[in-house]
A and B are shown apart, each in its own frame.
Chain A
């Protein structure tokens, strides 16, 4: 699993970067307001990420930054536009106390690292953190703390190792 710490966006979750902290029940409409989802382009979607909730996000987010949230992040719609907007913004991973099911699945399918981390509420906005996907640990450099996250189930790990759902399906189809 040597490449597991490199995402499709070219950012690396093992590099420390700032945390953008959000609360509980951040739904897909708040991640990507529905008026913008006529586009499927990650870069265009990224320009509107969290636009109503934190209008400064899209201008100030730096490639490699992290999104940190409370319970039930990504609830609501099945639209992949929401995780895609974070990929477009160069977000290198999402740490949340819990995720809505479809968002979690979509993020893995897109190669956006996601960790379920009950201790994520100790992270403050602007803290410098990094994710270690191999050990399932989130490190907070600002506070000199670290938090255990749930390791990915074996099946999902193997899916990731095979290059994600698209690569897996291609291999299955012999293409």
Chain B
């Protein structure tokens, strides 16, 4: 028998079986999450399955957020918010309200996720938690509602596609560029029903916020989860966030003789900044191929790249500068703590002085809900994860995806610009000492 992948080990542990790719298992859930869009439907399921007054499987490990239409942009959204508040209060679950931030940022920052956990979220980007070595995966409301009652859910154990990256990234090149390249290479559905695993010396050198970017966008290639094996950096990050000591002795990593579906190797030094052209994340090209494309709106935020480190990169580029006259910029911090950090470090002032609009923490314009919707013919360059037709508004608008550095550089010129032509400080520089690892 060959060794096991990280995904197989995680699901073996949680199901109490010798789980191998292709097996169907019932596994115990550690953490469950839903937000203002997916929560109300899950509550209906929970009531139907368990009854109105039943107990949640683990209220202390159940988290509800109000982040997608926050603050409410209409009566129905406001009613959804109230449904979340009422359910959380009645059942004693954790609840984060308007302005607290995006579910994925909140769960990570607040220390709800630990290496080895099985985390389900009623949001497709729940793959994010794989950046901490947890099996994070997105599910629908029926799945979530039943799991809130039973604490278990069925899973097909996925095969693993391994992405191995070695070497040093060029200045101006980030995890976002890596994941856009991976998606471009394997395709929008190239990892469907499978786990992505990111490994190699480049990945090991990435700080946690960058690993989360890789895991977040695993879903954009269809991935069930996107895993980075937990290491000392993971432990240090979590100890800082939670104050608790993390024991990595029990943490998993893939065996040397694990059976992968495929292995994809990359030389980090060869990677240029990437831009995904409309209207699919798989349309990734070198930034040089689309340089000069005129832009109307820049959007910095989302569960992919709305962390402090991301926004700091943009602020450093815009320090003392102003936006190109033809563009508007919307900045949406991923969480309240990011917002506060922006205020305390002067990033807020820098961006405002440059002409950016800064919104409350939340999902903002990512899916065209509100606060930055695109009109006919608008072109947006976004740090987001999706650029589907009409994603941020009009079906006649176009969204390009890129790293915060590419968005910041492009803001200076009003057209897509190679960030390598601009001074960009890497995250291992002293400027990030306050937020590393």
Contacts and interface: CB of A to CB of B under 8 A. Distances in A.
Interface of A: 25, 27, 29-30, 33-35, 37-40, 52-53, 71-72, 75-81, 83-84, 98, 100-102, 105-106, 109-110, 153, 155, 159, 165-166, 168-170, 172-173, 175
A72 B192 contact: yes
Size range of the interface on B? Answer: 35 or more
Contacts of B355: none
A80 B141 contact: yes
A38 B390 contact: no
A175 B150 CA distance: 12
B304 interface: no
Contacts of A35: 368-369
A78 B142 contact: no
Contacts of B77: 38
Interface of B: 24, 37-38, 40-41, 44-45, 48-51, 69, 74, 76-77, 80, 121-124, 126, 138-143, 146, 149-150, 152, 154, 156, 188-189, 192-193, 222, 224, 280, 367-369, 386, 388-391, 395
A40 B309 CA distance: 36
A80 B38 contact: yes
Contacts of B193: 101
Nearest to B141: A80
Contacts of B143: 105-106, 109, 165
Given A30-B390, A105-B143, 10 more contacts: A29-B368, A35-B368, A72-B189, A72-B222, A76-B124, A78-B138, A101-B192, A109-B142, A159-B154, A166-B146
Contact of B150 (A37, A80, A83, A172): A172
B38 A78 contact: yes
A105 B155 CA distance: 10
Given A72-B188, A76-B386, A80-B38, A102 B150 contact: no
| Most chain B Cβ neighbours within 10 Å, of A30, A33, A35, A52 | A35
B175 to A, nearest CB: 21
A78 B123 contact: yes
Q: Which 6 A-B pairs have the closest CB atoms?
A: A106-B140, A38-B76, A155-B24, A109-B142, A72-B189, A80-B140
24 contacts: A29-B368, A29-B388, A29-B389, A34-B368, A34-B391, A35-B368, A40-B41, A75-B189, A77-B367, A78-B124, A79-B37, A79-B141, A98-B189, A100-B192, A100-B222, A101-B192, A105-B139, A105-B140, A106-B142, A109-B140, A155-B156, A166-B45, A166-B48, A173-B49
